[in-house]
Structure formats: structure tokens, C-alpha cells
Structure 1
């Protein structure tokens, strides 16, 4: 299947002969309005051609889809109806049925026009909020502030929207007032906050506008066809590989300074002994002789782009040490970039112990955050490439040496990743055989198999999933369930059953056109800054997943053998909540042989689970928390009366404190005293604990059955 997907790059190369850059004409364009780069129009044309010709789901670009794109883009600009006037939206409606024509033509004029109107309103109301801080507010009035306005009508007048923002300022002040600080201090705090918000808004670039519109466009086609601008493409690939090339430091904007907020152990920054938490980076230079670029006031993503870079290259930083004044002489630190492995977001293990009839049962729990793969290392033949399967195999070997009795694979919150990793990870638990079926847009079905007869772990297995377990997580869970290899526990999964191919647009757009576009944009090739991607990446939906039993994972996901209540709202998250999602369907099952069967034991396991839950205080609190969350989600406004709000907050705080202590006691932990900080690394994961208990029940039942058979 992978070879077939790579053919998409060859097919896409046929697009390279038609596109040419053009400059759009703007109506009512102001001197400070953002405008697209010429290459964005070309990227739009290429992406459109790829989607219309090669996307699995065929959606014609017509007036109907134009309306959907329009509504989605408008929502991205002002989802909460806080900035745009009804008259603005009325003006925008002229584009409802023309965006499809604009997309085909690569014309972004109307898209940027809408954004620039929004940006003017945004700036105006933030400035209005700053001016409102000069007023004195009466906190004894029985007013309310409606903070959730998504279903409210657009404000009809400037005075109406000013009233909305005046109440927002009053609410912000009241929040600070309840902390006990003076009005003067609170107003100064808010002035800095609003000024910072405005500063960040002014740093928005045409890439941000283009990305927002491309999100609206691609999501109207299907939820998982996505365009990533160069910065987002780099982050996507870092997330997939769980590694990056750079200095080994996490950065954050703090009062206009790019500030060190974390240092990776063993990375270049750590080994230098010259980079510390809260140091401020004021300038960056490439190589040993490059000129320093001042980065004070920069956006964080722009700063990161020039600090990261290829392994072995040199970057120099001008640093202001923590606590030193802005006028201090900066120190210069020279670092050689290295490959940084992101261990904190890789597979991890722990061992839970359970008591079963006086015997200790040890359950190994492997938490897998994603199906990651360092494809560049893998393709280059590096035997130590980073991947989920390699990490989990090492963990399983370790758990076997520690004599665990069973293993729980925790895939909660795991949104998927590499299809190859889903197949190979399944192969650690089965001898060999099909894992997933894939049908492409020509209705050709391919069966992807585990062809390695070795089994890393053959013992009792459970898989814990939730609503955010998606894609590769669902492939793995479905295969384990279909083979009868393990018990699936948790909630119905997300339901993402589509296959995406990541297409680097730099490899499609012709070199000649690239040079022209870069010249028009006034850009030259960057030196030593890592990825040279200039046009972004398209994740194109090219196929659909099916279980080996013939059912699609699309839309319905995987249903657990034993269900837990969902802390994630099922009606708000999941493929079946996406308007553009593909439907569920089926194809013929493939040839596979079950390796186990839980049918006879599941009723007994479920009864043992239900009996525990009926008397479990933790389970009761979990159900109450879910109901409380639903109630809070239905609230749309808050009182601006100081006495009432304080009373509500005090009651909520007291209730939360008491309930937290009740949860702790139910889990066998010591209750906290008022103001006491909870100890680190406490075991508060009730659902993971119960998953291990269910697997312990299965092991115990199996031992009893084996003992009876032995006597017979």
C-alpha cells in the first residue's frame, strides 16, 4: 500500500505545468491590510487540483460547497460573535456562492478582505477595552455577562458591541478584584494584558490568514484532508517522528522576549552549561560568522524557525540571563544543533499490583501517546530509528523480565499516526496475518499484513481506549478484538477510518516556478535553519480503512467489549459529529484465524466489573463529575454582581475541595488540608486502575479454569 501512496507524488507532478503566479486585486484595501504572497495563490491552485482529482471523497466545487466554506471561514474569524457587526456579515454574504470560483482561480482577494475587516474590528474593540479601564465600575448591580455568544445574533450596532466589551472588561476586573488586589493594580494588570493581546494580534501574518481559510476549505471536503503551512508542516512531522533537530530547549514569549522555559537533558543547550531557565534570547545568528537577527517582539513560531536547524549546524544566541536588566550586555552562546528525541511524549510503562484471593497479580501498563515514526531515519536505514513499535517492544521485553502477569495497552487520547506502526505494533501480539484492509478511490482493496511470525508478548492483554483514540489506535484495537487476542475496554472510539498521504508541495511545484515565486515574495533561501519547505504540506485523504472482519472503522469506531462512562462528551467529539465525514460501510471480510475467544468469559467479567462499580465511590464521583460537566457546559453567562459571584465561587471552591478529598479517600490516599499541595506522581487514574483489575479478573478466572481442568 505504501508504494501506491507514493505514486500520488508522481501523479501530482502533472500539476506543475499549469500554475503561474498572479497578484489579486483588492477592493477597499487599506495601507495596513494584509495581502497574500503570490505563492499562496499558486499553492491554493495546486491544493485544489490535488483535492478535486485525487481525494478519496469526490466533492464538486460548486455553490453548495462554497456556502459551507464561507460559513466555516466566518466561524474561524469570529466564532463567538464578539467582533463583527451584523452589517459586516451582510456585506460578506456576497461571497457565499463565489468562494468556489475564487478557489478555482487561486484568487484570495475576498478571503483577505473578510479578514482585514475582522482585524480592524478586533483592534478597535481591544483599544476600546483599554480605554474602558479609565471608568469606575459598579459591582453591586445585578448585571450579567454572556460569554458564550455562538448562538446569539451578530451585534446590530457599534453601541451594542461596545456594551458587550464593557461588560467583558467589568468581568475581567471583577475576577481580579476577587483575588483581593486593589482596583489600581487590577487595572494596570489588565492594561498590560490587553496591550499584549493587541501586540500579538498585530504580529499576525498573511500565513495565518491563508491557513485559516485553507482549514475552512479542506474541512468542507472532509475532516482529515488538511493543508499545513511551512511552520505547521514542520510541527506535524516533529510530532510524527517524536524528534527534532535543534538546541534542545522549549521556548515561550514572555513580555515580548523569546524566553527559555525548559532544557532537554543531554541536548546542546544543556551540555553547554550556559543556557538556563528564564534566560531571554534577544538575537540569533547562523553559523560561526552569520549576522545576528534581533528577535525581540517576534512571534514564537518565527523565532523557533531560525533557532531549529539541521544536525551538525551552528547557531549562536545572544542571551540576557534571568533577572538581568534589558540594558545589560548579552552573553553569546554558540551551540551545535543535534537530533533531540522527545522522550516525554513517547511510550511509557508502569506496573500496577492487584490482590486476587490472597495472591499478588502484577499488571504492566504501557501508555502509548501516538503511533509515531521517524520516517527520515527509517528511510535512511538507521537501525535505531525512533518508532512506537520499537519503543513498545523494548518495554514488553522489560516487563517480561519483571514477570508481569498481564499487559494493558493504554491508548486513551491517542489520535493515531503511522499506519505502518499500527500494523507492526499489532504484530508484536500475533504470529502473523492480516491487520487492516484499505480501499482506494478506484475501489481497489489491499490487505496489509503482519508478516513477522515472531510474537513479542503472548500473555493476557487488554486495550484501554476512549473517544479520542483514533485512526491507527482504532486499527490496532480492532485487529486485537477481531483476532480475539485481547479485551477492549473504555468508550466508543473516535471513528476516523480514512487514510491520508502527506504531500510535500515543494516537491510538486516546479523549480522554475519556485524561483519566480520566491523572487516575487522578496525571499531568498535561508541558511542553516533546518527545513527548506516554503510551500507547505497537504495531507490528502486517499483511501479508507476497514477491519479484517469487513467493517469500516469510519464513523462508528471500535466498540469496547466492556464499556466505561465517557468523560469526553460523545455528542461533541467524534467522527459522527463532523458534517463532512464519510459514512460507515462494509466490504467482504478477509481470511484470518482467531487466536482466542472472550465470548464465554465476557459476561462474567462484565458482571464482576458492574458489581465493583455499584459499590465504588470513585465510580460514583466519576458519574457525578460527568453530569456536572454537562451542566457547566450549558451555562452561557455569569453574574457581574461582586457579592453573588463571590458567593458562587466560594461555594464552588468548597465543593471542589471536599469532592477532591472524597476522591482521594476512595482511592486510598490521604485527604489534603486547606492550602496543601498534592504530592507529585500520585496514582489518581481510576479508569486505568479498573482496566488492570478487569485483566486481573480474567487472569484469575483463567487460573481457576486451568485448575479445574487439571483436576478432571
Structure 2
């Protein structure tokens, strides 16, 4: 961190000599007034990105083209505002953005905002006019739903037609939902007033009108400064998707989310391409326990209980978060677009997250040879040394508890574990090996630093299975990779996320001298400064960890993970560390793989999961949707039928014979609330198909 800070301080001192801080404004050569704060900000960003990023970009015309395309994509992701003629006008700057970025000029940005604000007013007029007339859902008509396949309209008339289809599609979804609700009410025998198709369609348009009046009102209140961070991140994200600039207010929101995310629904949200997306689910939170909201989901609407949903597309992240947060015990209904393109309404009761549910917990799977199960939702740590808990110590304690109850093998569940403390990974791997390197961490310059387990004691030497999935990321991947490289255990599940980079936050105010106080606060820069490497020398970047035994998963065939991010850093290799593989293997992986494959082939549930995954892939690759009501309903009902089949099969899965550890029974005896939560955890584990297969794999090897 120090070299970066010293470089920026040196730059800041030089800048103060060149610019002088007495004035708040500077004059460009053509006489136009430029805001000095923004000029200083961009130059500090350029210096920071160029000097401290793991893989600095060359600021040239090629870089400029990338930034231009990324900004345009984010400014009008669904291509519903700009015309092709607007894009042609902006294209004059396509190879000049690198020069503007280096000089601190915002000519292109100001021009783009001027055009965008004009088109925003026109789009508002289109929506009002279109929503005055009823939609007919009788004729066969389709809409393209993948933004990357859309083109900018060549005329106002063509753009208006795109809006007509877009609004009709949204109305169609509402009409279909209303018909579905009426059908369910009829089946349940509830006495509700049945509406005609004309009334249902009118209701749908009325609600859309209200949503769009609110949407355009919010967008009209935004100023250029609200878009500036997105513009600057069009440069930062060319370096890699995790390098970002945070304006002062955005950093406050980020800090609040990070420290205060244990309240509300327990989901960390990000804004990308005009959509509010779920980036992480807090272990033990209402979202985590409810189970339907997943990373990658886009939240389109938010409703308070039974109230009318509010459309949050295009809304600022802080405003959207304020709608989703709420008092404990209240209901929030989220309309989300899943990664496969399907729509779902998810009801979550807000609550305060119970911290214990975010910590390591274990169970004993009964049998002639008992097996221990440890669930680890995150690699948590007390970084401030304030007497808090660390995942490495907690897992060590769970291992000892399982040993006392004669566990012959252990399943370590890292599914949906997004990572955390690297030191705790080192400590945890050390529980299962004698000693040796666990992970290599490399900065842009110099050799890799090897983090080692120096404790020669092996806490558990029996068979080990590590469960992973596509949401196992970062520290989870390092843990699984180390166990795999040492041949210490069997990795089971689906390929992991593939994030092998390390980020740091830098306060831009701290790297500038006091002479720049007049233009502060400037915000923060989150920079990718290092990469992780396995002890074998390979990075987990992009490729993740491929399990030794792969199990069918809903996301198996979907494009998912770091490799799907624009401008992700590449996969590469360095020299392997010196280490000795496990010298007393417990079983033959090839035999275990063959036995597992036979079980999977004979399992109707796994077969249906695989079929569902194939259908999701097909649906994702199909980029058009029908605007004919009968066709739309037929497709939705087919999907619902298949989903119900899978739910029914899951309900009928034979249960594992699990028991709570004696130590935990004593702790839970006096706490009825904690006991109830632990019972829920046990119930879920009993019918978890993937835990069951992990148990079968271990028993094959015992």
C-alpha cells in the first residue's frame, strides 16, 4: 500500500504546483470553465490506476474505444433512449477518451448527458401516449429481450415502436400474473371478485403508468454528477471488473451495507447496467433462510407487503436499498429476474440476522462408521482483534467435537461460501495436513509470497470431502484447491466461481496533501492489487476449481462466474511451491468417481436436475419472448410444471439419520430460539441431495 500512497502524494504535490488551489475553477485552452475538483479527481485516478493496479492498461486509442463502448452500454443498456444518430455524433470522441481521461476533461461526458436528457423527455412522452391505449394479446408477436442483440433505433418512430413492444411485454407479465392469481383463488375456493380480461388489462396499464410516472420523475431529478461515477467506472472497469471508483456518498452507502447488512433482508446489492443485482447473501439472514434469492438475480420491483410494487429499474442504488430495508417482522416482496431470464416474486420477512447462523456448525451422520458434517457459510474473521470469532478456530473446534463422537470421515460444506479471510484458509487447511504451503499471493512486481501452515500437528487424518458449487468463491476456492493439490481429500460438486484476485480500498483524500483540501472529498478507489495462486502454480482466476467428482446442478450449463465478466484478468501460472502430497491416501478417487457416476445415473432426482439445467440453458439462449398471451401462458405453465416435479421429488428424498453433537445439545438446552433455528438447519441437511451423495462417497472409501 505504501508505494502507491507515496506515488499519489508525489503526484498530488506536483499537481498543486501546476494548478494552484486558490481558485475553484480552471480555464481550458478554449476558454470553457472546467470544474477543478473533477480535473484533480480524474488525474489522481489515472495515476493510481497506472501505478498501483496489478495489470495497468496502456492509455491509448484502443483503451479509449473500450471505455467508449462500456459507457454507452451502461448509459442506455436496453437501447430505449438514444438513436443511432446520437451514437454517430458521440462516435467523434471514440478515440479521444484516453486523452480526456488523462487531461481531466469532461467534454464527451457533458455532450452525452445533454443528448441523453433530451431523449429522456421524449421517451417519457412515448410511454404516456402508448399506455393510453389498450394492448391486444391475440396476435403472434415477439420481442427481443437480450440487450446485446438489440440495435439503436434509426428514427424516433422506430424507437417509439420499441417502447410499444417493451411496455406491452411488461403489461403481458402483469396480466399473466393476475390470471394466475384468479385461477389459484378459484382452486382454493376463496370468494374473490373475478375480473374480466378487459379489466385485468386496464389494471395492468394503470399500474404501468404509475410506475413510469415515478420512474421518469426520479430520472428527471438526477443531475450529471449522479452519472459521473458510472462514467469514471467505464475507465476503471477496463482494468478489471473489480476495480471501481466510489464517490464519497457511494462509499458511505458501501460502508453502511458492509457494516449494517445484518439488518433487513441480508442481501448485498450492486448497480450494473441500470439494474439492481444481488451480489451476495449474508449467511443466516432472512434471504439466506428463505432460500429463493440468489447472487446474480436482478431485482426489478419492490413491494411493501400487499402494497403495489415500485419499479426500481434505473433507480439509484441507495434509493433502491432504502425501499428494501425495513423494520423487523415486516414483509417485502421482490420481483426478480433470475439468471435464466425467468421472473419470480419472492416474499421475505425482514429480520435481524442471528450471527450464530453465520458461523461454522456441525452435525453427526449416524451409521456403523459415523461421518461428521461441517457447514461453513463464510471465512469470517475478527480483523480488529476485538474478541470476535474466527472461522479457522471455529472449524478446528468443530473437528475436535466430531472426533470426540468418533467421526470416521468429514464433509466440509463450502457451497455458496463467497470467501473472506485468507489467514483462516491457511489455518483450516493446516487442520488436515502436516505442514506446508497453502496459497501463493503475488503482486504485479516481485516474486510470489507463500503463505504456509507451520503447525506440524494433523488434527484430522481421516477421509475428507469438500463440497463446492458455482457460488464458492475466492477463499473457498483456495481452500478447495489446496485440498485437491495435496490430494488430501475429494472435491465434490460443481465448478467454482473463478475469482482469483485481491482488492484494496484507497482513500483518495489521504493520498493528496493539505493544499488540495478545497477539492476534497474525492472518494475512494478500489484497486485489484494482487492475484492468488494455488500451490501447484495455477491461479483459480476464470477457471475456478473443477471438482474431482462433478454433480449435476441447476447452473451446470449456464454461463456464470468470473469468466463471464467483461475485462476479467486472465488465467496464468507461476512456479509451483514446494510441497509434498498426502502420503497415506484413504481411497482411490477413480473408484469413487465410478461409483458416484452410477448412483447419479440411477437417481431420478439428479436426472430431473440435469433436465432442468438443460431447459434453463435453452431458455437463456432463446432471446425472444412471445407477446401472445396464450403462447406466453403455455411457456410459463410448462416451466411451473417442471419446477413442481422437481419439488415433489426433493420432498420424497429419503432422509439422512443425523444427530446434534452432545456439546451442542448442552448449549442449546437453555435457549429455545437457538434450538429451533438449529433444528431447522438439521431438517434442511437431512434432505440435502448433495450432502447425501457426499456421504455415499465417503462410505465407499471408509
TM value normalised by structure 2:
0.73
- Identify which range, 632-641 or 407-416, moves more after superposition: 407-416
- Distance in 2 separating the partners of 1:207 and 1:682: 50
Report the RMSD for the aligned CA atoms in angstroms. 4.1
1:351-362 counterparts in 2 under 5 A?
A: 351=363, 353=365, 359=368, 361-362=370-371
- Distance in 2 separating the partners of 1:570 and 1:652: 17
- Identify which range, 153-162 or 656-665, moves more after superposition: 656-665
Structure 1 residue 630 displacement after superposition: 1.0
Match of 2:409 among 398, 406, 420: 406
Structure 1 residue 508 displacement after superposition: 1.3
Structure 1 residue 127 displacement after superposition: 4.3
Q: Relative to 1, partners in 2 of residues 1:75 and 1:98: Cα closer, same or farther, differing over 3 Å?
A: same
Structure 1 residue 125 displacement after superposition: 2.0
Secondary structure of the structure 2 residue equivalent to 1:492:
coil
In the alignment, what sits opposite 1:493? Answer: 496
In the alignment, what sits opposite 2:570? Answer: 583
In the alignment, what sits opposite 2:239? Answer: 221
Deviation digits for residues 56-90 of structure 1 (CA, Å, limit 9, x no counterpart) = 21321000111011111111122232222111111
1:144-293 counterparts in 2 under 5 A?
A: 144-178=142-176, 179-180=178-179, 181=195, 182=199, 183-204=201-222, 206=224, 208-234=226-252, 243-244=259-260
Match of 1:301 among 307, 311, 318: 318
Structure 1 residue 603 displacement after superposition: 1.0
- Distance in 2 separating the partners of 1:36 and 1:599: 69
Q: Relative to 1, partners in 2 of residues 1:628 and 1:691: Cα closer, same or farther, differing over 3 Å?
A: same
In the alignment, what sits opposite 1:633? Answer: 620
Structure 1 residue 589 displacement after superposition: 2.3
In the alignment, what sits opposite 1:557? Answer: 544
- Distance in 1 separating the partners of 2:97 and 2:206: 44
Structure 1 residue 352 displacement after superposition: 6.5
1:505 aligns with 2:508: yes
Q: Relative to 1, partners in 2 of residues 1:458 and 1:625: Cα closer, same or farther, differing over 3 Å?
A: same
1:383-402 counterparts in 2 under 5 A?
A: 384-397=387-400, 399-400=402-403
1:536 aligns with 2:553: no
1:16 aligns with 2:12: yes
- Distance in 2 separating the partners of 1:153 and 1:40: 33
Structure 1 residue 647 displacement after superposition: 3.7
Structure 1 residue 448 displacement after superposition: 1.6
Structure 1 residue 224 displacement after superposition: 3.0
- Distance in 2 separating the partners of 1:37 and 1:489: 56
1:660 aligns with 2:669: no
Secondary structure of the structure 2 residue equivalent to 1:493:
coil
In the alignment, what sits opposite 2:358? Answer: 346
In the alignment, what sits opposite 1:694? Answer: 694
- Distance in 2 separating the partners of 1:485 and 1:232: 44
Secondary structure of the structure 2 residue equivalent to 1:538:
strand
Structure 1 residue 16 displacement after superposition: 2.4
In the alignment, what sits opposite 2:192? Answer: none
In the alignment, what sits opposite 1:74? Answer: 72
Contact 1:48 1:104 (8 Å CA) reproduced? yes
Structure 1 residue 159 displacement after superposition: 0.8
TM value normalised by structure 1:
0.72
- Distance in 1 separating the partners of 2:99 and 2:542: 31
Secondary structure of the structure 2 residue equivalent to 1:18:
helix
In the alignment, what sits opposite 1:31? Answer: none
- Distance in 2 separating the partners of 1:597 and 1:111: 63
Contact 1:571 1:577 (8 Å CA) reproduced? no
Match of 2:605 among 608, 612, 618: 618
Structure 1 residue 38 displacement after superposition: 4.9
1:366 aligns with 2:375: yes
- Distance in 2 separating the partners of 1:580 and 1:109: 25
Q: Relative to 1, partners in 2 of residues 1:154 and 1:480: Cα closer, same or farther, differing over 3 Å?
A: same
1:303-322 counterparts in 2 under 5 A?
A: none
Identify unmatched segments of 5+ residues in structure 2: 180-194, 268-281, 286-302, 306-314, 332-351, 657-678
Contact 1:243 1:341 (8 Å CA) reproduced? no
Contact 2:441 2:533 (8 Å CA) reproduced? yes
Deviation digits for residues 559-610 of structure 1 (CA, Å, limit 9, x no counterpart) = 2221224533667334444553443333332222333555951011111101
Match of 2:483 among 470, 480, 492: 480
Q: Relative to 1, partners in 2 of residues 1:278 and 1:626: Cα closer, same or farther, differing over 3 Å?
A: closer
Contact 2:245 2:525 (8 Å CA) reproduced? yes
- Distance in 2 separating the partners of 1:172 and 1:581: 33
Secondary structure of the structure 2 residue equivalent to 1:489:
strand
Match of 2:446 among 443, 451, 456: 443
Contact 2:55 2:239 (8 Å CA) reproduced? yes
- Distance in 2 separating the partners of 1:134 and 1:699: 66
Structure 1 residue 135 displacement after superposition: 0.9
Deviation digits for residues 37-71 of structure 1 (CA, Å, limit 9, x no counterpart) = 75444232212101112222132100011101111
In the alignment, what sits opposite 2:189? Answer: none
1:57-136 counterparts in 2 under 5 A?
A: 57-136=55-134
- Distance in 2 separating the partners of 1:621 and 1:685: 20
Secondary structure of the structure 1 residue equivalent to 2:633:
helix
Match of 2:588 among 562, 582, 601: 601
Q: Relative to 1, partners in 2 of residues 1:590 and 1:200: Cα closer, same or farther, differing over 3 Å?
A: same
Structure 1 residue 446 displacement after superposition: 1.8
- Identify which range, 147-156 or 427-436, moves more after superposition: 427-436
Structure 1 residue 614 displacement after superposition: 1.2
Secondary structure of the structure 1 residue equivalent to 2:509:
helix
- Distance in 1 separating the partners of 2:655 and 2:579: 45
- Distance in 2 separating the partners of 1:638 and 1:302: 30
Secondary structure of the structure 2 residue equivalent to 1:114:
helix
Structure 1 residue 615 displacement after superposition: 0.4
In the alignment, what sits opposite 2:671? Answer: none
Deviation digits for residues 510-557 of structure 1 (CA, Å, limit 9, x no counterpart) = 23313x015xxxxxxxxxxxxxxx433323222332222222333333
Structure 1 residue 621 displacement after superposition: 0.7
Secondary structure of the structure 2 residue equivalent to 1:609:
helix
Contact 1:243 1:374 (8 Å CA) reproduced? no
Contact 2:145 2:624 (8 Å CA) reproduced? yes
Contact 1:618 1:667 (8 Å CA) reproduced? no
- Distance in 2 separating the partners of 1:345 and 1:682: 12
Deviation digits for residues 179-217 of structure 1 (CA, Å, limit 9, x no counterpart) = 145244333222222223224434545554233223321
Secondary structure of the structure 2 residue equivalent to 1:643:
helix
Deviation digits for residues 662-703 of structure 1 (CA, Å, limit 9, x no counterpart) = 44335679xxxxxxxxx987967899633553355335533x
Contact 2:655 2:687 (8 Å CA) reproduced? no
Secondary structure of the structure 2 residue equivalent to 1:507:
coil
Contact 1:405 1:459 (8 Å CA) reproduced? yes
1:669-680 counterparts in 2 under 5 A?
A: none
- Distance in 1 separating the partners of 2:686 and 2:616: 18
Aligned residues: 587
Contact 1:461 1:695 (8 Å CA) reproduced? no
Secondary structure of the structure 2 residue equivalent to 1:219:
helix
- Distance in 2 separating the partners of 1:117 and 1:174: 31
